[in-house]
Amino acid sequence: MKLTKDSLIKEAELFCAITNTQEHPDLVGINDGKTIGTYIEHEFKKYLKSKYEFNLGSSAYGIDFPDKELNTDIKVTSSNKPQNSCPFLDVKQKIYGLGYNIILFIYEKSESNGTCHLFFNSCTFIKAEETGDYIITKNLRKMVENNWDKDKIAYYLNECKLPGDDSTLENLAEEIIQNPPKQGYLTISNAFQWRLKYTYKDKKEELPTVNPKKEYGDYQTPLDFCKKVLEHINETYLIAPDIIIEPTCGIGNFIKASKLFYPKVPVVGIDINKDYLDEVKKSVDNVILINENIFEYDLEELINSKYTEYLIIGNPPWVTNTRLSKYNSDNLPNKNNLKNLDFFDATTGMSNFDISENIILHIINKFKNLNTNMIFLCKYTVACNIFEYLVNNNIFTCRINIIKFDAMKIFKADTSSCILFIQFNERNKKFSSCEVYELDNPGKNYKIGMINGKFYSDLSNIVDIDGACCFEWRQGIKHDCTNIMELTVSDDKYMNKKEDLIELEEDLLYPLLKSSNIKVPIVNSSDKKILITQRKFKENTSYIKKEFPLTWNYLVSNEEYFRQRKSNIYANAPEFSIFGIGEYTFKKFKVAISGFYKQGLFSLVFHEKSMMLDDTCYYLSFDDYDSAYVTMLILNSWVVKSFLKHVVSLDSKRPYTKKVLKRIDICKALKILSLDDLIETEDELELKHYITNDIFENYKLNIKKRVEED
């Protein structure tokens, strides 16, 4: 079979997935990037040669795949410093591209216990015409668009220190005007051997990036870790399956490990990716392989009275439905409201769930009435959500345990992860807690649990202020258009994230805080601005055209960015709509917290023109400084900190959510806290003493009135 450009890209994806799970003894002790790059190139070509016919490049050809229909060179670089050298023929390559495509492997190398692992962060295919210099091509395209003449462009080329005399650069400038370059995505330095850097390779969304994690949320499990998981389960729990099912089997390492522990037990592997199944077929005998989307396949076909005990094992995709939608993946479930969210929550952040959670719940609901053992690798937050779902829906189990492991070590994934083990059989019983322990240190354990329908991340030494907050927690502005809506000040103009300089009326611009700005207890300034198009939910935005023409023209000139917003919350909304907006948004004083940071600092934020927060933040709004200040102290007090410790999962990507924050009952906290406690909080936050007995008593009186009115 002849190698084509499409099959080259497809096979690069599969090669990365397989190589990520293998050991590479030839690279132990080797840290030279050139040697590692040569090894990867050789392994990739050897892999391709086993399947396809193609001409191998040589020093005479200059590139790895010289065939006209391929015209591609392999580049391999470490993620620590993504760059390598490249010979050049002509200065025009810096502007019009290198003349050939690049398939770029970016890897990480790690060693432990005498073994070496390679892990590919990505593999990107960059078209020949897009291999020019990112900054130079971007600026030249703008110059042509703005009708710069030949002399100005030639002067710019000279300033960029492009080699050539005045005549050469003038001729090149004229060619650029007649034939503007495509946008390039490399950084090409001036040197005898040009240095290619890959900082900008992800700037272009349409670039065909060969990365299964992006499209499928795919973390292939190394075979040695699959063995370790099954070894632990067999040593700790009693299971004797007569059928094994892996619902998203990938390249089949859990299938291979299962065959070692249960050699006579039939195995079924299901996966959406046929190329993965073809690899499994080559390396494993006596396995039934089903090429289906797990959300569409009828699992009832696998339920048979001849089986007395099922083992369902695997590593479902570690990605959210929103991220998969971004990549137009076909690995998505049908839309449903499994957790019965209300309309607004279901159409904003709370509907963003991990695909693995949906897969596991789908399987639980099919097999919960059978004698079934389930072993799933997943994010820790997914396991907690599964536990909460089981308790709230009165689904009884014989056993449920969460066993944490180091995902960075296994997958190079910066997330808290675990093995979720669930047993269903005739000994099923009602439960409200679950033991959590570490795979490499089982003695280090604690319990999560449910009390009165609410989740606790730690059941030990709870301070009870659980209830309902007397203030309304809000999430910050949601616009999904950062490149256009968020600005920085540049002299007397504004710059957006596309690096465009623009002039706008001041009226609709407000100071903006993001999560990274909420690091001190009081914040009253910002170097960022946000464009606010509405003052209330679904307000008509046509007024902007008449009252603020500069702003309107700016929005219209960038309307394509607004049209690309995928959330259905914008459906049937006025053009340029934003959400998380209302009277509360424009109050002068707010108490805010970042949803992302583990320290859980509540900050008092204020500004004359109302300080806005982005949708990574949550806040309470106030009309006066004193109420906001005392609330900030209460939320930072030892009482609230102690409570949050037991209800917040710090392993989550977003530990602090509206769901958690609205459980803080300030009335209950006030029954525990004294003025001295709040003064002590001021000291801990390194604030000057401001609170007095009068301010505190007045605050408590206002809270009492507020509760009585409600």
Q: For residue 202, what pLDDT band results from cuts at 50, 70 and 90?
A: low
Look at 87-96, 257-266, 604-613, 615-624 and tell me which has the smallest mean pLDDT.
87-96
Please state at what angle helix 638-647 crosses helix 625-635, rounded to 10 degrees. Answer: 60
Q: Starting at the earlier edge strand, list the strands of the sheet with 194-197.
A: 83-86, 194-197, 187-188
The label of the residue with tokens 């959330």 reads 567
Q: Averaging pLDDT over each range in 86-100, 333-347, 520-534, 563-577, which range is the top one?
A: 520-534
Residues 691, 674, single domain; the answer is yes
Residues 206, 229, single domain; the answer is no
**Cβ neighbours around 256 below 10 Å, total:** 17
Residue 536 has pLDDT above 70, yes or no: yes
State pLDDT tens for residues 207-244: 344 444 444 445 789 999 999 999 999 999 989 999 99
| 160: in domain | no
3 state SS for 388-421: HHHHHCCCCECEEEEEEECHHHHHCCCCCEEEEE
| 461: in domain | no
Residues 563, 648, single domain; the answer is yes
Residues 483, 571, single domain; the answer is yes
In percent, how much of the chain has pLDDT > 70? Answer: 91
Residue 263 belongs to a domain with what CATH number? 3.40.50.150
Residue 678 contacts residue 630 (beta carbons within 8 Å): yes
State pLDDT tens for residues 656-702: 999 999 999 999 999 999 999 999 999 999 999 999 999 999 999 99
Provide the CB-side half-sphere exposure for 254 (13 A, CA).
27
Look at 117-121, 393-397, 640-644 and tell me which has the smallest mean pLDDT.
117-121
Domain count across the chain: 3
State pLDDT tens for residues 255-282: 999 999 999 999 999 999 898 998 899 8
Average pLDDT, the chain: 88
The label of the residue with tokens 């990274």 reads 516
Residues 535, 610, single domain; the answer is yes
Nearest to 126, CA basis, from 118, 134, 116: 134
Final residue belonging to a domain, choices 210, 244, 269: 210
Domain that holds residue 120: 5-133+184-210
pLDDT given at position 206 = 38
> Where are the extended beta strands (E) located within 161-233?
187-188, 194-197, 209-210
pLDDT given at position 237 = 92
Residue 53 has pLDDT above 50, yes or no: yes
Residues 205, 251, single domain; the answer is no
Look at 9-18, 54-63, 307-316, 330-339 and tell me which has the smallest mean pLDDT.
330-339
Pair of tokens at residue 295:
């959300």
Residue 96 contacts residue 183 (beta carbons within 8 Å): no
- Give the separation between CA 351 and CA 288, rounded to whole angstroms: 35
Instruction: Kindly report the pTM of this predicted structure.
Output: 0.68
Residues 196, 301, single domain; the answer is no
- Give the separation between CA 171 and CA 168, rounded to whole angstroms: 5
| 414: in domain | yes
pLDDT given at position 581 = 94
Final residue belonging to a domain, choices 192, 210, 228: 210
pLDDT given at position 244 = 97
Nearest to 680, CA basis, from 671, 691, 672, 669: 691
Residues sharing a CB contact under 8 Å with residue 183, sequence separation 6 or more, in sequence order: 130, 132, 134, 137, 138, 141, 204
Find the mean pLDDT for residues 11-17.
89
pLDDT given at position 60 = 47
State pLDDT tens for residues 447-456: 999 998 999 9
How far does Cα 251 stand from its chain's mean position? 23
Residues 585, 697, single domain; the answer is yes
- Give the separation between CA 444 and CA 155, rounded to whole angstroms: 66
| 162: in domain | no
| 589: in domain | yes
- Give the separation between CA 316 and CA 318, rounded to whole angstroms: 6
| 616: in domain | yes
Provide the CB-side half-sphere exposure for 50 (13 A, CA).
9
pLDDT given at position 304 = 87
